[in-house]
Amino acid sequence: MLTDDVVILVRGGSGGNGAVSFRRNGQTAKGGPDGGNGGKGANVYVEGRDDITLLSQFQYKKEIFGQDGGNGEKQNKYGKNGQDSVFYVPFGTKITDLAEGKSFDIEKESGKILIAKGGEGGRGNNEFKSSTVQAPRYRELGQKGEEKKLRLELKLIADVGLIGLPNVGKSSLLQALTNAHPKIGDYPFTTLEPNLGVLEHLIIADIPGLIKGASEGRGLGDKFLKHIEKTTVLLHCIDSTSQNLQSDYKTVRDELRVYNPALSSKRELVVLTKSDLTDKDKLDEKLKIVKKLNKNSTCVSVIDDKSVEILKAKILELIKK
């Protein structure tokens, strides 16, 4: 299963402690302070990658800790700084600081982003000597690194989103359009996670079928509605063998509107699927019905190469608008 929503704990490395030490050797019996400073704790960064499976690394490992700085030593030796670390998430991941409620998205142009600062190293006793205090016997402890509890929520970055009720042929259509190989079956909810394919330069996402109440948690589609929020075009698939096209169309549109009203304004192409299972006269009648719902409509059969090519052309044309 695709991991697309996790909560993790991220902590920068702690700074190393300063040292308390006095110079002692064969020539110096009672030398001055020479305790070194502690090293800085490591920063933790996040960076995007073009791999939608990356959040699966957090399925069991829920914590990312930066390396601690080394402690200071005698002879004014500084502790080693912690080595900064980077963790990777898919492009399209929304990161929310659960304590502050602030969010940001990881896009292709985001680059490396600082998540948690490492703590500063503590000063050794050599740093505290003065004309009045020549033998300080105290030092600073290193500071703790920043700690943040983060929610990582993946929203696929796709150009086209395939939507519709369960078992309307979306997965078969994705395969016909892009040569992707999603699981296909003749029963509802075959698609249990988003599938992606590429049509020329466009990414097409097939999400699990939506049922009435999906936006409120019913069925399998609710947790995947977020994956079509960033799409440019919605390919609304309706089974041509359905006896109630208007109801099928309205059910899906209502769920989109309830989940996020902005989805209702996205460009939409309505596709009557499985056209080979309906005789031509009835198909023409059904296409007229659908065109009253959305004039930007067509029909397709995955076993009819000509209809698939026509659909591809319509998708590309709609994207350019």
Res. 196: pLDDT tops 90 = no
pLDDT for res 50: 86
Q: What length does the chain have?
A: 321
Residue intervals of the chain classified under CATH 2.70.210.12 are: 1-154
Res. 275: pLDDT tops 70 = yes
Quote the tokens at residue 266: 């996205």
Give the confidence band of 124 by pLDDT, cuts at 50, 70, 90.
very high
pLDDT for res 224: 63
- Span 130-180, pLDDT tens digits: 988 989 999 999 999 999 999 999 887 789 999 888 888 888 899 899 886
Res. 203: pLDDT tops 80 = yes
Bridge partners for 97 per DSSP = 150
Q: What is the share, in percent, of the chain residues with pLDDT greater than 90? A: 61
HEC states along the chain? CCCCEEEEEEECCCCCCCCCCECCCCCCCCCCECCCCCCCCCCEEEEEECCCCHHHHHCCCCEEECCCCCCCECCCECCCCCCCEEEEEECCEEEEECCCCCEEEECCCCCCEEEECCCCCCCCHHHHCCCCCCCCCCCCCCCCCCEEEEEEEECCCCCEEEEECCCCCHHHHHHHHHCCCCCCCCCCCCCCCCEEEEECCEEEEECCCCCCCHHHCCCCCHHHHHHHCCCCEEEEEEECCCCCHHHHHHHHHHHHHHHCHHHHHCEEEEEEECHHHCCHHHHHHHHHHHHHHCCCEEECCCCCHHHHHHHHHHHHHHHHC
Most confident of 36-40, 174-178, 212-216: 36-40
CATH class belonging to 1-154: mainly beta
Average pLDDT, the chain: 87
Distance CA 159, CA 171 (A): 16
Res. 256: pLDDT tops 90 = no
CATH architecture designation of domain 160-320: 3-Layer(aba) Sandwich (3.40)
Mean pLDDT, rounded, for 21-35:
83
- Span 78-108, pLDDT tens digits: 999 999 999 999 998 999 999 999 999 999 8
Give the confidence band of 219 by pLDDT, cuts at 50, 70, 90.
very low
Res. 186: pLDDT tops 60 = no
pLDDT for res 207: 77
- Span 289-305, pLDDT tens digits: 999 999 999 999 999 99
